[in-house]
Structure 1
Amino acid sequence: MNRALVSSLIAGLAVALPLQAEQRPAYGPQLEGFEYPFPIQRFEFSSQQQALSMGYLDVQPEGEANGRTLVLLHGKNFCAATWEQSIRVLSEAGYRVIAPDQVGFCSSVKPRGYQFSFAQLAHNTRALLQSLDLERVTVIGHSMGGMLASRLALNYPQLVEQLVLVNPIGLEDWQAEGVPYADIDQLYEGELKTDFEKIKGYQRKFYYNGDWKPEYDRWVTMLAGMYAGEGKEIVAWNQAQTSEMVFTQPVVHEFERLSMPTLLLIGGKDRTAPGANRAPEAVAERLGDYPALGRQAAARIPQATLVPFPELGHSPQVEAPPVFHEALLKGLADLR
């Protein structure tokens, strides 16, 4: 291949990459413009002396109703919409499914001044369920949602009949392991640099063991669109606040107090460990060992059942839906 042709191809690629980036959608701070798979409902309430609004999905059973309600809690880099396939499967199996977007995330309001804590988010979620006259539910939490689901179950055990943790983060205490603290201002500066390629690169490395499927792009586009939109600063600010929350509010030390049957669904290729990028190499290397973390969590939780997926990563419900849903439905049925 001659030099002129090579130069032409390189120039064409240099033009194509920015154009591709420009063609990606930009969304509003509450994901305005992104199409959810089910109608978004709104829960309006007051918290910390301000009016707030949470978006949530409420999907009724498509199959014969079994009388049970499942509450699906999203992770930090996810939204209620990411549960799309799971919601369809669970609804067809006879479950009512509630999937909220937490305050500060996705379709919910992004408050400038809000004290984020897992206890507060659990309180908000309980208030939503009370508004729907739900007194007993099964809670399924993925990633950060697993930390929130654990806090909800610890604070309101009478509400949670069964707990399901899907590759939850927080199975280890990163501070106690030696990861340095980063304040919210520092985290905010990092969040402002977030874009499609950074999100995809992080997820490819830590979530999917270096692999990638085209269908994952939808969920990266969902997140990146908020950073590309007019609300970028408030989105980044809330993400920084909740990153600090995740780092400083571990639930792992309280696992012995979980009183309900708990199902642990753990993808063994996952290596997610928030803050590992700022930890000493020797510390970073031992973090995020999900096969070991899953076994340790199962040993600490009194009524735990561990279901490992050795070949899957951080999001087994996205990576291998049939395998994941078979295990989930069996685990839910075993409660009866």
Structure 2
Amino acid sequence: MRLLSPFSSQSFDPLFIYFPGMDGTGKLFDRQAEKLKNFFAIRCLSIPSYDQSDWSTLVHKTVTLIRKELEAHPHSSVYICGESFGGCLAMKVALEFPELIEKIILVNPASSFNKHSFLKFGVELNQWVPNIVYKVATMVLLGFLGSSNRMNTKDSKALLDAMQSLPQDVVSWRLSLLRDFRINSAKLRMFEKPILLLASQEDKLLPSVDEGRELINYFPNSRLTILPESGHACLLEDNVNLLEILEKHDFLSASNTLIMDNG
């Protein structure tokens, strides 16, 4: 595992770490990173396509990377942004190591996966599907992840390529992690750092709005924003601007806000 640095940055900029979806590539954040790069030191967590670590190992590998980054470049604060699978990892990192994190953004977190029997059945089914069928299935799944009319051709292709980059056994393993994902509700209620939840109304993969509403009932310092026309992979959509959403919900640091005002 490693942290990708898509842009150069100043060592004193707030550190913004993107935790990717199940593909783990960390390369599907370019659209948003381009807008955020003047306000943060952007890092994208990249999980190798062969990696079959359990949750505990993923958490500790991620925290090790964050600590090394902070030692080399002492940033003023750390934001983590977890999307889908990455949202689950972000919650586990934040709950186990809250002292490292300043603010959290969760984008359609896949924490509701284990609450739906038909999705859990898919974990078992995926292991027995022939490879050619699996490849076709990923193309079908693309329609559940996002609306083609809300993404440009380049981003749609990048999403498909990322999905197809994972070996079938790794997909099965990461689906099993989502099936087995659990977090202690008492820990959620004790977590006081600011959390911003983004939930897509038109998510065809997971009931993200319902999950967002449930999570804000647990997290004491959280707020929910619903994206009315967006699908599951909303950060790839042309009309979704994460920087504007952060500004709207006062989720930028004082130095960030000053840059916005002067921009």
TM-score, length-scaled by structure 2 = 0.80
Aligned to 2:260: none
Aligned to 1:320: 238
State the SS of the aligned residue for 1:217: helix
Greater Cα shift, 81-90 or 246-255: 246-255
CA distance, structure 1, for counterparts of residue 123 and residue 210 of structure 2: 30
Q: State whether residues 171 and 297 of structure 1, in contact with CA within 8 Å, keep that contact through their aligned partners in structure 2.
A: no
From 117, 127, 135, the equivalent of 1:188 is 127
In structure 2, stretches of 5+ residues that fail to align are: 255-263
- Residues 80-104 of structure 1, C-alpha deviation per residue, up to 9 Å, x if partnerless? 1100112221112x2101112124x
From 247, 257, 262, the equivalent of 2:179 is 247
Aligned to 1:149: 90
Matched, 1:100 2:51: no
CA distance, structure 1, for counterparts of residue 25 and residue 110 of structure 2: 16
Give the Å deviation of 1:118: 2.1
What pairs with 1:112-151 in structure 2 (closer than 5 Å)?
Answer: 114=52, 116-134=53-71, 136-151=77-92
Aligned to 1:236: 168
Give the Å deviation of 1:301: 1.2
| Residue 326 to residue 61, structure 1, CA distance change in 2 (3 Å) | farther
From 217, 220, 223, the equivalent of 1:305 is 223
State the SS of the aligned residue for 1:138: strand
- Residues 30-80 of structure 1, C-alpha deviation per residue, up to 9 Å, x if partnerless? xxxxxxxxxxxxxxxxxxxxxxxx243124556x77620011000014521
CA distance, structure 2, for counterparts of residue 137 and residue 220 of structure 1: 30
CA distance, structure 2, for counterparts of residue 316 and residue 182 of structure 1: 25
Root-mean-square deviation (CA, aligned residues, Å) is 2.9
Percentage of pairs with the same residue: 17
State the SS of the aligned residue for 1:153: helix
What pairs with 1:157-306 in structure 2 (closer than 5 Å)?
Answer: 157-171=98-112, 173-174=114-115, 177-179=116-118, 186-190=125-129, 192=131, 193-195=133-135, 197-204=136-143, 206-208=144-146, 213=151, 214-215=153-154, 216-224=156-164, 226=165, 235-251=167-183, 253=185, 254-273=187-206, 288=207, 290-306=208-224
CA distance, structure 2, for counterparts of residue 191 and residue 250 of structure 1: 30
CA distance, structure 2, for counterparts of residue 198 and residue 185 of structure 1: 15
Q: State whether residues 141 and 168 of structure 1, in contact with CA within 8 Å, keep that contact through their aligned partners in structure 2.
A: yes
TM-score, length-scaled by structure 1 = 0.64
Larger radius of gyration: 1
Give the Å deviation of 1:309: 0.8
CA distance, structure 1, for counterparts of residue 211 and residue 204 of structure 2: 10
| Residue 72 to residue 329, structure 1, CA distance change in 2 (3 Å) | farther
CA distance, structure 2, for counterparts of residue 89 and residue 245 of structure 1: 32
Q: State whether residues 55 and 89 of structure 2, in contact with CA within 8 Å, keep that contact through their aligned partners in structure 1.
A: yes
| Residue 252 to residue 178, structure 1, CA distance change in 2 (3 Å) | farther
